[in-house]
Every structure is written in structure tokens, then in C-alpha cells.
């Protein structure tokens, strides 16, 4: 009799744990419905830590905690525009008033072997964008950053290069870009 009671308690706890997990992951399941295989949002079992994993484009990062999750995520597959080949991931935080970030991944366009600053200037010229560039370092990554005040209403754009791939992160809030770069795997 004692074994049956212990078994029932264990099964009850397992069921309650599964129910807790299922309810805790509801927002992530909803976001992942619209994403292609290879791109997903993950959420910690306890707490509200979110992570974006993009195996298609080869990066992952933690979502800034003050966002309290993600409201929407959009993945745009690889396409060509003005001779540049790239894919995009656009996302907004759940918390009201949180500004989103866009990540573009370029695999072709211009000479991908040239230094990052030259490549970014070439890209800005191709898309008729305006900005003053500066070099910086975030963690171990060399970056080139600018602010585009003519067409992007003052949004910050940070570029980083890994192998022959260039990532562009765009947002009106440079602190979020820096958090994502710092807490990402590129």
C-alpha cells in the first residue's frame, strides 16, 4: 500500500511539473509557430530568461531581461537586393515601449574579404544611406558602428564580421544592440 501511495505522489508531482512547464512555455510555443525550422525562441524553465537560436544563420543570443520576453519575431530568408545577399531576423520586446532590434546577415555583396569598415561604407553607398563610422570593440569582437539620421530616423547600426559573414544589428537603442552582441554566440 505504501508503494502505491508513493507512486501516486510521484506521478502527481510529475504531472504538476509537466503542467507548470507547459503553461510556462505557452508564449514561446506561439512565437515558434511562425518561425522556420532552424530558428527558435527558448525560455528558461524557471524565471524569464529568453534566448534566440538561429541555426540557419549561425548565431544565438540572450534577449535583454527588461524586455520580459518577445512580442513578435519575424524571419526573412536569404534574398538578394542591390547585389547584396542576406537574411534578416526582426524582433520586438514584450514589455510596453520596448524598441526592437533587426539583425541582418550578409553572405555576399561587395568584396566579403575586405576590412569591415570599407565594406560598411560600400554598403551604405549602395543603399544611399548616410552615417559617420567609428571602430570599437565589444568583448573580443571588432565592430564598426554608425547612426543613420537621414533614412532610419537616427537608428544605430553596429556591424561585426565572423569569417566571411557580416552581421548588421539595427535599433534606436544602442544599449540593446550592445547587450545582444555581448550575450551572443557569433
Which residue spans within 6-154 are E strands per DSSP? 39-43, 50-54, 59-62, 70-81, 84-93, 101-108, 134-138, 141-148
- pTM confidence score: 0.83
Tell me which of 3.40.1440, 3.40.1000, 1.10.4160, 3.40.50 is the CATH number of domain 60-185.
3.40.1000
Distance of CA 136 to the CA centre of its chain: 20
pLDDT tens, N- to C-terminus, the chain (186 residues): 778 778 777 777 666 566 555 555 788 889 999 999 999 999 987 778 999 999 999 999 999 998 988 988 999 999 998 889 999 999 998 876 667 899 999 998 878 888 999 999 999 998 889 999 999 999 999 999 999 988 888 899 999 999 889 999 999 999 999 999 999 999
Write down the domain spans for the chain: 60-185
Amino acid at each position: 500500500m505504501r508503494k502505491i501511495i508513493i507512486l501516486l505522489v510521484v506521478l502527481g508531482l510529475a504531472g504538476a511539473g509537466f503542467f507548470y512547464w507547459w503553461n510556462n512555455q505557452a508564449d514561446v510555443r506561439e512565437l515558434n509557430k511562425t518561425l522556420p525550422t532552424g530558428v527558435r525562441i527558448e525560455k528558461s524553465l524557471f524565471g524569464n530568461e529568453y534566448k534566440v537560436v538561429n541555426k540557419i544563420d549561425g548565431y544565438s543570443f540572450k534577449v535583454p531581461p527588461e524586455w520580459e520576453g518577445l512580442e513578435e519575431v519575424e524571419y526573412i530568408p536569404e534574398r538578394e537586393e542591390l547585389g547584396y545577399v542576406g537574411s534578416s531576423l526582426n524582433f520586438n520586446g514584450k514589455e510596453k515601449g520596448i524598441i526592437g532590434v533587426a539583425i541582418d546577415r550578409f553572405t555576399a555583396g561587395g568584396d566579403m574579404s575586405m576590412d569591415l569598415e570599407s565594406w560598411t561604407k560600400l554598403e551604405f553607398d549602395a543603399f544611399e544611406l548616410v552615417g559617420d563610422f567609428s571602430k570599437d570593440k565589444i568583448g573580443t569582437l571588432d565592430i564598426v558602428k554608425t547612426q543613420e539620421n537621414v533614412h532610419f530616423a537616427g537608428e544605430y547600426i553596429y556591424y561585426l564580421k565572423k569569417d566571411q559573414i557580416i552581421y548588421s544589428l539595427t535599433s534606436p537603442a544602442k544599449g540593446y544592440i550592445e547587450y545582444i552582441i555581448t550575450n551572443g554566440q557569433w
